[in-house]
Structure 1
Amino acid sequence: MSYPTPPGWYPDTSAPGTERWWDGTAWTAHTRAPAPAPVHTPAPAPSGGGSARAVALVAAGAVVVGAVVTGAVLLTGNDDPAAPAAHASQSPTRTGTGGAPGDDGPSPDGTPVHEDGNVLTDQLNGITLPIPDGWERPERTSGQLLTMRTEKSYECPGASSTYCYPGTVTTRTPGGTDATTPEALAEEDIADAADRAYDEDILGRRTHGGITGHRQTAAGEVTVAGRTGYYIRWKVTTAHGPGGYVQSLAFPSPTGSESPVIVRYAFDAGPDGPPLDLMDTLTRGIRPIGDDATDGGVGSAVEHTP
């Protein structure tokens, strides 16, 4: 049985000599130099004729302690091929306690390790999203996407013994793209977002029997957490079930190097799906971590296109 690795500082294998903060779910953008190892000063040798013998005993003891420490390092290091590494896996290898790397102290921004249950915190991208009433953050998600979803679920219409959710929202950091603007990122992402939500999921299941058609219902610039972003919304029809609405929202992170962030929305159509204007409400609620005063810009700032 595997257990989740607790939040803490762990060696960053992509940057030797650096530790990176693991928030219990994902690697964040916070790094630091490794904490210095404690220095043990040997007791002074006693004076008198027994000094030479005492020095020899101290030296021998140091050799034994050094051997034990070396063995402990080898046993607790990252030599296990199954042990994941920073930026290459979802969980780190714990290396220490009590203020050392891997400790359970406060997060890098000073907030408690256990996040507010009313918000979805994406520390890697420096944002939070409000969790609406009747929604939850699942303990486990597919892939490396940070997700919240409706508490209510139902058996997927296109795949028996598989459960779907009327509404899901995920955040992700785009990779392997040449797109440099929020508009280009949203345009590049929307088809994949629709496929993942209503055509074929990450496990290859056709949960709604596949997408049979789509049309764009809205698009335009929007201010998100003080940054200018762009969103595209599609209405998709599916072989089974009511279909749904999918939206890709791209914007620069409000913190750090302002790397691009994508938020994906997938709401079932029909009376059982979340109200469509909840997408706009959630976009307005996106905040930089630690800042509750930044306004979003959905509403008059959003240009709707037919």
Structure 2
Amino acid sequence: MTPPGWHPDPGYSGNGPAQERWWDGAQWTGHVRASPGAARRRGIRIGVGVTVGAVVLAAIGGGVYLLGKDGGPPGTAASSPSAVPDPPGAPDDGEKGGEGNGGENGDGQGPGGQLPPTEPGFATDLAAGISLPVPQGWKGTSGAVGAGLTTGEHACPGDTAETCVRGGVFSAPAAAMKLTAGTPEEAAKKDIALNAQESYGGKSYGKISSHEELKSEAVTVAGGKGYVVRWKVVTEKGDDGYVESLVFPSPTSKDMLVVVRSGFDVNKDAPKLSVLDDITRGIKAASGAGGGAGGAV
């Protein structure tokens, strides 16, 4: 579990000066500061509704999380500073900022310059304590908070100036997205509508006219009892899509829920749904992070 410290801001939209936000060990606080070596980066729009940094998907700020209209994860805002005593190096009130643009470290480092562990064939989410298997031909990116997989870049149907992908899978600790439902089932059922809207309800695909539930069931992921919900959505522009919200306990911290959001276009050039199932089965505890490993059944 990632200890308290400065991390790329979850509200970063890819525009303006980069910032870091304070993670108190359980939640994001309202404290922000300029990111060291901050530089403006142009993000890309991908088919599952994420604006991602051009260099990495490090932490939330690099775009691992599905970004809302305000540039932050859907339904989120910086939480109030924690009531627990601040650790050394914690910000004081003078460093507390507003909700503007956040930032990202170009190297995706965690506290004290800690880099996510690297493992061939996997993208690691250090905070969640998991690794996502990278399918052949896909791009995988590890981060101090979050990890992502993408494939099939193309011009977005509703905004050709932006870049979309045919498939994307992204992980995040549920607390960082302010997803506070108590059980994996409750969280997955709550998250799927947000996932669908952020994935296919924006200007890149137009509004969602309808959806069909394809799956809603318990699943074991990385040795933990989780829950998955999958929808097929009908869009106004371009391809329809499949969206999935998977929630399960972190293999390294049983009190932490992990959210994995996925989106695949319904298109002959998009990955088959069997690839999404393979990714789910291949999720495991991050190498060296402790805890048990194991796939989904």
Partner amino acid, structure 1, of 2:194: D
Q: Which residue is equivalent to 1:192? A: 194
Cα shift readout 1:121-165 (whole Å, capped 9, x = no counterpart):
01101100111111113699xxx7532201x31111111211110
Q: Deviations over 1:3-32 (max 9, x none)?
A: x99xxxxxx7848xxxxxxxx9339xxxxx
Residues 103 and 230 of structure 1, relative CA distance in 2, 3 Å threshold = closer
Offset at 1:256? 2.4
Could you tell me how far apart the structure 1 residues matched to 2:132 and 2:142 are? 17
Q: 274, 278, 287: which one pairs with 2:284?
A: 287
Answering whether residue 147 of structure 2 is matched by residue 146 of structure 1, we say: yes
CA distance in 2, matches of 1:159, 1:196: 15
Q: CA deviation at 1:90?
A: 5.2
Instruction: Tell me which amino acid in the other structure corresponds to 1:295.
Output: G
* Residues in 2 aligned to 1:251 and 1:89: alpha-carbon distance in whole angstroms: 27
> Which aligned pairs between 1:112-123 and structure 2 lie closer than 5 A?
115-123=118-126
Give the C-alpha shift of residue 248 in structure 1: 0.4
CA offset digits 1:110-129 (Å, max 9, x no partner): xx756235211011011001
Q: 2:136 aligns with which of 115, 133, 136?
A: 133
How do residues 165-180 of structure 1 correspond to structure 2 at under 5 angstroms? 165-175=165-175, 176-180=178-182
User: Is the alpha carbon distance of 1:125 and 1:90 closer, same or farther for their aligned partners in structure 2, counting shifts above 3 Å?
Assistant: farther
How many pairs were matched up? 214
Contact 2:123 2:141 in 1 (8 A): no
**Cα shift readout 1:71-116 (whole Å, capped 9, x = no counterpart):** xxxxxx97897899xxx96558xxxxxxxx9766xx5xxxx75623
Q: Tell me, what secondary structure is at the counterpart of 1:185?
A: helix
Query: Normalising by structure 1, what TM-score?
Result: 0.59
Q: Judging by fraction of residues, say which structure has more strand.
A: 2
Report whether the alignment pairs 1:297 with 2:296.
Answer: yes
d(CA) in 2 for partners of 1:126 and 1:139?
11
Counterpart amino acid of residue 59 in structure 2:
A
Q: CA deviation at 1:275?
A: 0.8
Residues 225, 254 of structure 1: 8 Å contact kept: yes
**Identity across the alignment (%):** 34
| Whole-angstrom CA distance in 2 between matches of 1:293 and 1:256 | 10
Instruction: State how far apart, in whole Å, the 1-side matches of 2:269 and 2:174 are.
Output: 31
Q: Is the 8 A contact 1:172 1:263 kept in 2?
A: yes
Distance 1:145 1:211 in 2: 27
CA shift digits 1:183-223 (9 cap, x unpaired):
110000000111111112xxxxx101221111001121110
Matches within 5 A, 1:157-236: 157-175=157-175, 176-200=178-202, 206-236=203-233
Decide whether aligned partners of structure 1 residues 227 and 14 sit closer, same or farther in structure 2, where only a CA change above 3 A counts. closer
Amino acid at match of 1:192: L
SS of residue matched to 2:277: helix
* Alignment gaps of 5+ in structure 2: 1-6, 9-21, 26-56, 61-86
**Root-mean-square deviation over aligned CA pairs:** 4.0
Question: Structure 1: any 5+ residue segments left out of the alignment?
Answer: 6-11, 16-23, 28-32, 35-76, 93-100, 201-205, 299-306
Distance 1:239 1:13, change over 3 A: closer
Partner in structure 2 of residue 156 of structure 1: 156
- Structure 1 position 238, deviation (Å): 0.7
Kept after mapping to 2: 8 A contact 1:170/1:263:
yes
- The amino acid across from 1:122 in the alignment is D
Q: Does 1:274 align with 2:275?
A: no
User: What amino acid is the match of 1:146?
Assistant: A
Does residue 248 of the first structure (1) align with residue 245 of the second (2)?
Answer: yes
State the SS of the aligned residue for 1:196: helix
Task: Give the residue type in structure 1 aligned to 2:295.
Answer: G
Alignment of 1:31-50 (within 5 A): none
Distance 1:239 1:137, change over 3 A: same
Cα deviation code 1:39-93 (max 9, x no counterpart): xxxxxxxxxxxxxxxxxxxxxxxxxxxxxxxxxxxxxx97897899xxx96558x
The 3-state SS of whatever aligns with 1:153 is: strand
CA distance in 1: counterparts of 2:251 and 2:218, whole angstroms = 16
